[in-house]
Amino acid sequence: MNISTRDFNLLYLFTVLYEEKNLTKSAERMHLSQPALSHKLNKLRTEFDDPLFVRTGRGIAPTPKADKLALDVCSLVKQLERFYTQSESEDLSTRTDSVHLYTTDFIQLFLLPRLLQRVSEVAPKVKIVAHTTGGTLPIKVLEQGGCDLAIAGFYQDIPRHLYRQEVAKFGFTVLYDQNYHSAMTSLSLEKFVQSEHVVTTLTGDLQGLVDNELGKIGKCRNVVLGAASFLALPHVISGTARLLTCLQPIADHFSAVCSGLAYTAPPIPVSDARIEQVWHARTHEDALRKWLRQEVRCILSEKSQSQSKSQN
Protein backbone atom coordinates (compact mmCIF):
# COMPACT_ATOMS: atom_id res chain seq x y z
CA MET A 1 0.00 0.00 0.00
CA ASN A 2 1.25 3.47 -0.90
CA ILE A 3 0.47 5.62 2.14
CA SER A 4 1.25 8.79 0.21
CA THR A 5 -2.29 8.59 -1.13
CA ARG A 6 -3.76 8.69 2.37
CA ASP A 7 -5.01 11.86 4.10
CA PHE A 8 -3.76 11.62 7.69
CA ASN A 9 -5.82 14.66 8.67
CA LEU A 10 -8.83 12.35 8.44
CA LEU A 11 -7.46 10.34 11.37
CA TYR A 12 -7.51 13.49 13.48
CA LEU A 13 -11.09 14.11 12.37
CA PHE A 14 -11.99 10.55 13.38
CA THR A 15 -10.45 11.09 16.83
CA VAL A 16 -12.30 14.35 17.44
CA LEU A 17 -15.64 12.87 16.33
CA TYR A 18 -15.11 9.79 18.48
CA GLU A 19 -14.27 11.87 21.55
CA GLU A 20 -16.97 14.52 21.15
CA LYS A 21 -19.85 12.36 19.81
CA ASN A 22 -21.28 15.65 18.52
CA LEU A 23 -20.91 17.33 15.12
CA THR A 24 -21.25 20.90 16.39
CA LYS A 25 -18.65 20.45 19.15
CA SER A 26 -16.32 18.70 16.72
CA ALA A 27 -16.60 21.55 14.22
CA GLU A 28 -15.86 24.11 16.96
CA ARG A 29 -12.86 22.14 18.23
CA MET A 30 -11.42 21.87 14.70
CA HIS A 31 -12.31 25.48 13.80
CA LEU A 32 -14.36 24.29 10.84
CA SER A 33 -17.74 25.31 9.47
CA GLN A 34 -20.47 22.69 9.49
CA PRO A 35 -20.33 22.26 5.67
CA ALA A 36 -16.54 21.83 5.81
CA LEU A 37 -16.85 19.24 8.56
CA SER A 38 -19.52 17.36 6.58
CA HIS A 39 -17.26 17.35 3.52
CA LYS A 40 -14.37 15.89 5.51
CA LEU A 41 -16.67 13.36 7.16
CA ASN A 42 -17.79 12.13 3.73
CA LYS A 43 -14.13 11.68 2.74
CA LEU A 44 -13.51 9.80 6.00
CA ARG A 45 -16.43 7.47 5.28
CA THR A 46 -15.13 6.82 1.78
CA GLU A 47 -11.64 6.15 3.15
CA PHE A 48 -12.91 3.40 5.45
CA ASP A 49 -15.92 2.28 3.39
CA ASP A 50 -18.25 2.66 6.37
CA PRO A 51 -20.61 5.36 7.78
CA LEU A 52 -18.45 5.34 10.98
CA PHE A 53 -20.70 7.87 12.78
CA VAL A 54 -24.51 8.00 12.60
CA ARG A 55 -26.88 10.61 13.96
CA THR A 56 -28.79 9.95 17.20
CA GLY A 57 -31.19 12.05 19.22
CA ARG A 58 -28.30 13.34 21.36
CA GLY A 59 -25.53 13.69 18.77
CA ILE A 60 -23.70 10.98 16.84
CA ALA A 61 -22.85 7.39 17.69
CA PRO A 62 -19.94 5.29 16.37
CA THR A 63 -20.66 2.23 14.25
CA PRO A 64 -19.16 -1.15 15.22
CA LYS A 65 -16.35 -0.56 12.74
CA ALA A 66 -15.58 2.83 14.30
CA ASP A 67 -15.42 1.24 17.75
CA LYS A 68 -13.05 -1.39 16.36
CA LEU A 69 -10.78 1.26 14.84
CA ALA A 70 -10.93 3.74 17.72
CA LEU A 71 -8.23 2.50 20.06
CA ASP A 72 -5.58 2.26 17.33
CA VAL A 73 -6.53 5.47 15.53
CA CYS A 74 -6.93 7.61 18.65
CA SER A 75 -3.73 6.26 20.16
CA LEU A 76 -1.83 7.04 16.95
CA VAL A 77 -3.16 10.61 16.86
CA LYS A 78 -2.25 11.14 20.52
CA GLN A 79 1.30 9.97 19.82
CA LEU A 80 1.57 12.42 16.93
CA GLU A 81 0.24 15.25 19.13
CA ARG A 82 2.81 14.34 21.76
CA PHE A 83 5.59 14.33 19.15
CA TYR A 84 4.72 17.79 17.81
CA THR A 85 4.20 19.22 21.30
CA GLN A 86 7.66 18.06 22.35
CA SER A 87 9.37 19.16 19.14
CA GLU A 88 7.90 22.65 19.34
CA SER A 89 8.51 23.25 23.03
CA GLU A 90 11.59 24.32 24.89
CA ASP A 91 14.06 21.81 26.26
CA LEU A 92 12.43 20.67 29.48
CA SER A 93 15.28 18.40 30.57
CA THR A 94 16.92 21.17 32.60
CA ARG A 95 13.71 22.79 33.84
CA THR A 96 13.39 22.87 37.64
CA ASP A 97 9.89 23.42 38.97
CA SER A 98 7.05 21.96 41.05
CA VAL A 99 3.67 21.39 39.45
CA HIS A 100 0.61 21.17 41.69
CA LEU A 101 -2.35 19.03 40.62
CA TYR A 102 -5.73 19.01 42.35
CA THR A 103 -7.67 15.86 41.63
CA THR A 104 -9.37 12.80 43.15
CA ASP A 105 -7.81 9.61 44.50
CA PHE A 106 -9.45 7.78 41.57
CA ILE A 107 -7.71 9.96 38.96
CA GLN A 108 -4.43 9.77 40.88
CA LEU A 109 -4.55 5.96 40.78
CA PHE A 110 -4.72 5.80 36.99
CA LEU A 111 -2.83 8.98 36.09
CA LEU A 112 0.18 9.34 38.37
CA PRO A 113 2.18 6.18 37.56
CA ARG A 114 2.33 6.93 33.82
CA LEU A 115 2.59 10.70 34.30
CA LEU A 116 5.55 10.40 36.64
CA GLN A 117 7.26 8.07 34.18
CA ARG A 118 6.82 10.61 31.38
CA VAL A 119 8.07 13.44 33.60
CA SER A 120 11.16 11.42 34.57
CA GLU A 121 11.92 10.92 30.87
CA VAL A 122 11.33 14.46 29.62
CA ALA A 123 11.66 16.78 32.64
CA PRO A 124 13.53 14.81 35.32
CA LYS A 125 14.12 17.81 37.59
CA VAL A 126 10.40 18.64 37.82
CA LYS A 127 8.42 17.54 40.88
CA ILE A 128 4.72 16.67 40.85
CA VAL A 129 2.62 17.47 43.92
CA ALA A 130 -0.86 15.89 43.93
CA HIS A 131 -3.54 17.34 46.20
CA THR A 132 -6.96 15.83 46.84
CA THR A 133 -9.62 18.10 45.37
CA GLY A 134 -12.81 18.90 47.23
CA GLY A 135 -16.27 18.76 45.73
CA THR A 136 -15.90 22.19 44.13
CA LEU A 137 -13.39 23.74 41.78
CA PRO A 138 -10.45 25.32 43.71
CA ILE A 139 -10.88 28.68 41.99
CA LYS A 140 -8.96 30.79 44.50
CA VAL A 141 -6.01 28.39 44.55
CA LEU A 142 -5.93 28.43 40.75
CA GLU A 143 -5.98 32.22 40.70
CA GLN A 144 -3.37 32.56 43.45
CA GLY A 145 -0.93 30.12 41.84
CA GLY A 146 -1.18 27.22 44.28
CA CYS A 147 -2.88 24.99 41.72
CA ASP A 148 -1.57 24.49 38.20
CA LEU A 149 -4.19 22.00 37.05
CA ALA A 150 -7.49 20.78 38.50
CA ILE A 151 -8.86 17.47 37.18
CA ALA A 152 -12.27 15.99 38.01
CA GLY A 153 -15.62 15.05 36.58
CA PHE A 154 -17.90 17.06 38.83
CA TYR A 155 -16.81 20.70 38.60
CA GLN A 156 -19.80 22.98 38.02
CA ASP A 157 -20.13 26.60 36.92
CA ILE A 158 -16.52 26.94 35.75
CA PRO A 159 -15.77 30.68 35.28
CA ARG A 160 -15.20 31.79 31.71
CA HIS A 161 -11.77 33.22 32.51
CA LEU A 162 -10.47 29.70 33.19
CA TYR A 163 -9.49 27.23 30.50
CA ARG A 164 -11.16 23.82 30.43
CA GLN A 165 -10.70 20.67 28.35
CA GLU A 166 -12.45 17.32 28.42
CA VAL A 167 -9.85 14.55 28.75
CA ALA A 168 -11.94 11.42 29.31
CA LYS A 169 -15.45 10.07 29.60
CA PHE A 170 -16.38 7.13 31.84
CA GLY A 171 -19.63 5.26 32.29
CA PHE A 172 -21.13 4.01 35.55
CA THR A 173 -21.53 0.42 36.72
CA VAL A 174 -22.68 -1.37 39.89
CA LEU A 175 -20.01 -3.18 41.92
CA TYR A 176 -21.11 -6.05 44.19
CA ASP A 177 -19.81 -9.06 46.13
CA GLN A 178 -20.64 -12.33 44.37
CA ASN A 179 -20.71 -14.16 47.70
CA TYR A 180 -23.83 -12.17 48.62
CA HIS A 181 -25.31 -11.70 45.15
CA SER A 182 -25.21 -14.49 42.60
CA ALA A 183 -23.51 -13.49 39.34
CA MET A 184 -25.82 -10.93 37.72
CA THR A 185 -26.11 -10.50 33.98
CA SER A 186 -28.63 -7.78 34.80
CA LEU A 187 -29.81 -6.04 37.95
CA SER A 188 -33.51 -5.39 38.46
CA LEU A 189 -34.68 -1.99 39.57
CA GLU A 190 -36.55 -3.59 42.48
CA LYS A 191 -33.44 -5.31 43.82
CA PHE A 192 -31.40 -2.16 43.29
CA VAL A 193 -33.65 0.09 45.38
CA GLN A 194 -34.13 -2.53 48.09
CA SER A 195 -30.38 -3.00 48.62
CA GLU A 196 -28.14 -0.92 50.88
CA HIS A 197 -25.79 1.44 49.05
CA VAL A 198 -22.53 3.28 49.77
CA VAL A 199 -21.61 6.44 47.86
CA THR A 200 -18.70 8.78 47.35
CA THR A 201 -19.34 12.33 48.54
CA LEU A 202 -16.83 15.15 48.67
CA THR A 203 -19.39 17.64 49.99
CA GLY A 204 -21.37 15.53 52.47
CA ASP A 205 -24.36 15.40 50.14
CA LEU A 206 -25.65 11.84 49.71
CA GLN A 207 -27.79 12.77 46.69
CA GLY A 208 -25.94 11.93 43.49
CA LEU A 209 -26.60 11.38 39.79
CA VAL A 210 -28.16 7.97 40.44
CA ASP A 211 -30.55 9.41 43.02
CA ASN A 212 -31.57 12.19 40.65
CA GLU A 213 -32.45 9.61 37.98
CA LEU A 214 -34.35 7.48 40.50
CA GLY A 215 -36.27 10.55 41.64
CA LYS A 216 -37.50 11.12 38.09
CA ILE A 217 -39.37 7.81 38.25
CA GLY A 218 -40.53 8.21 41.84
CA LYS A 219 -37.94 5.85 43.36
CA CYS A 220 -35.20 6.20 45.96
CA ARG A 221 -32.44 3.96 47.28
CA ASN A 222 -31.17 3.27 50.81
CA VAL A 223 -27.79 5.00 51.18
CA VAL A 224 -26.14 3.90 54.42
CA LEU A 225 -22.68 5.47 54.01
CA GLY A 226 -21.04 8.39 52.28
CA ALA A 227 -17.24 8.60 52.15
CA ALA A 228 -14.80 11.13 50.72
CA SER A 229 -12.88 8.50 48.77
CA PHE A 230 -13.54 6.72 45.51
CA LEU A 231 -11.07 3.96 46.37
CA ALA A 232 -12.09 3.06 49.94
CA LEU A 233 -15.66 2.06 49.16
CA PRO A 234 -14.97 -1.12 47.14
CA HIS A 235 -13.33 -2.46 50.31
CA VAL A 236 -16.39 -1.40 52.32
CA ILE A 237 -18.79 -3.49 50.22
CA SER A 238 -16.45 -6.50 50.09
CA GLY A 239 -17.91 -9.23 52.30
CA THR A 240 -21.36 -7.58 52.42
CA ALA A 241 -24.55 -7.39 50.37
CA ARG A 242 -24.15 -3.63 49.83
CA LEU A 243 -23.85 -2.11 46.38
CA LEU A 244 -21.54 0.58 45.01
CA THR A 245 -22.40 2.46 41.83
CA CYS A 246 -19.04 3.70 40.55
CA LEU A 247 -17.12 4.61 37.42
CA GLN A 248 -16.19 1.73 35.13
CA PRO A 249 -12.38 1.96 35.63
CA ILE A 250 -12.86 1.68 39.40
CA ALA A 251 -15.00 -1.43 38.94
CA ASP A 252 -12.50 -2.90 36.48
CA HIS A 253 -9.63 -2.36 38.91
CA PHE A 254 -11.28 -3.69 42.06
CA SER A 255 -12.99 -6.66 40.43
CA ALA A 256 -9.46 -7.68 39.34
CA VAL A 257 -7.68 -7.13 42.68
CA CYS A 258 -10.43 -7.97 45.21
CA SER A 259 -11.58 -11.58 45.30
CA GLY A 260 -15.33 -11.94 44.91
CA LEU A 261 -16.13 -8.50 43.52
CA ALA A 262 -17.92 -8.23 40.16
CA TYR A 263 -20.02 -5.63 38.39
CA THR A 264 -23.09 -5.20 36.25
CA ALA A 265 -24.94 -2.38 34.49
CA PRO A 266 -27.20 -0.04 36.50
CA PRO A 267 -30.94 -0.73 36.11
CA ILE A 268 -31.51 2.87 35.00
CA PRO A 269 -29.59 5.03 32.50
CA VAL A 270 -26.98 7.30 34.09
CA SER A 271 -25.10 9.92 32.07
CA ASP A 272 -21.36 9.33 31.66
CA ALA A 273 -18.95 11.29 33.84
CA ARG A 274 -16.94 13.75 31.74
CA ILE A 275 -13.49 14.28 33.22
CA GLU A 276 -12.13 17.77 32.58
CA GLN A 277 -8.85 19.52 33.30
CA VAL A 278 -9.06 23.19 34.26
CA TRP A 279 -6.26 25.76 34.39
CA HIS A 280 -5.66 29.49 34.74
CA ALA A 281 -4.54 31.87 31.99
CA ARG A 282 -1.26 32.56 33.81
CA THR A 283 -0.03 29.03 32.99
CA HIS A 284 -1.66 28.72 29.58
CA GLU A 285 1.49 29.42 27.54
CA ASP A 286 4.06 27.96 29.93
CA ALA A 287 5.91 25.25 27.99
CA LEU A 288 6.20 22.83 30.90
CA ARG A 289 2.57 23.03 31.91
CA LYS A 290 1.38 22.98 28.31
CA TRP A 291 3.34 19.76 27.79
CA LEU A 292 2.01 18.33 31.06
CA ARG A 293 -1.60 19.05 30.09
CA GLN A 294 -1.02 17.21 26.82
CA GLU A 295 0.35 14.22 28.71
CA VAL A 296 -2.62 14.21 31.10
CA ARG A 297 -5.00 14.28 28.16
CA CYS A 298 -3.15 11.47 26.36
CA ILE A 299 -3.06 9.20 29.42
CA LEU A 300 -6.67 9.67 30.50
CA SER A 301 -8.15 9.65 27.00
CA GLU A 302 -6.36 6.38 26.27
CA LYS A 303 -7.92 4.97 29.46
CA SER A 304 -11.31 6.18 28.25
CA GLN A 305 -10.84 4.70 24.77
CA SER A 306 -9.70 1.40 26.26
CA GLN A 307 -12.87 1.26 28.34
CA SER A 308 -15.06 2.02 25.32
CA LYS A 309 -13.41 -0.74 23.31
CA SER A 310 -13.82 -3.32 26.13
CA GLN A 311 -17.53 -2.57 26.35
CA ASN A 312 -18.15 -3.16 22.64
- Residue 80 clears pLDDT 60, i.e. is over it: yes
Range of the domain at 75: 3-87
- Both 19 and 73 in a single domain? yes
- Both 54 and 178 in a single domain? no
- Both 164 and 296 in a single domain? yes
- Both 255 and 196 in a single domain? yes
| DSSP-assigned beta bridge partners for residue 61 | 54
CATH code of the domain containing 157 = 3.40.190.10
Number of domains in the chain: 3
- Residue 312 clears pLDDT 60, i.e. is over it: no
- Residue 242 clears pLDDT 60, i.e. is over it: yes
- Residue 259 clears pLDDT 90, i.e. is over it: no
Residue with more model confidence, 127 or 185: 127
Least confident of 16-25, 105-114, 235-244: 16-25
**Considering 38, 63, 87, which residue would you say is the last residue of a domain?**
87
- Residue 285 clears pLDDT 90, i.e. is over it: no
The residue among 71, 135, 76 whose CA lies nearest residue 103 is 135
- Both 140 and 22 in a single domain? no
Q: What are phi and psi of 170, to 5 degrees?
A: -125, 140
The residue among 267, 262, 236 whose CA lies nearest residue 251 is 262
Model confidence pLDDT, tens digit, residues 185-218: 788 999 999 999 999 998 888 888 899 999 999 9
**Considering 63, 87, 111, which residue would you say is the last residue of a domain?**
87
- Both 210 and 256 in a single domain? yes
- Both 68 and 21 in a single domain? yes
Q: Is the CB of residue 76 less than 8 Å from the CB of residue 11?
A: yes
Least confident of 4-13, 30-39, 188-197, 220-229: 4-13
CATH code of the domain containing 18 = 1.10.10.10
**Considering 71, 87, 103, which residue would you say is the last residue of a domain?**
87
Give the CA distances from residue 119 to residues 5, 102, 267, 283, 295, in Å, rounded to whole numbers and listed in that order: 37, 17, 42, 18, 9
pTM summary value: 0.71
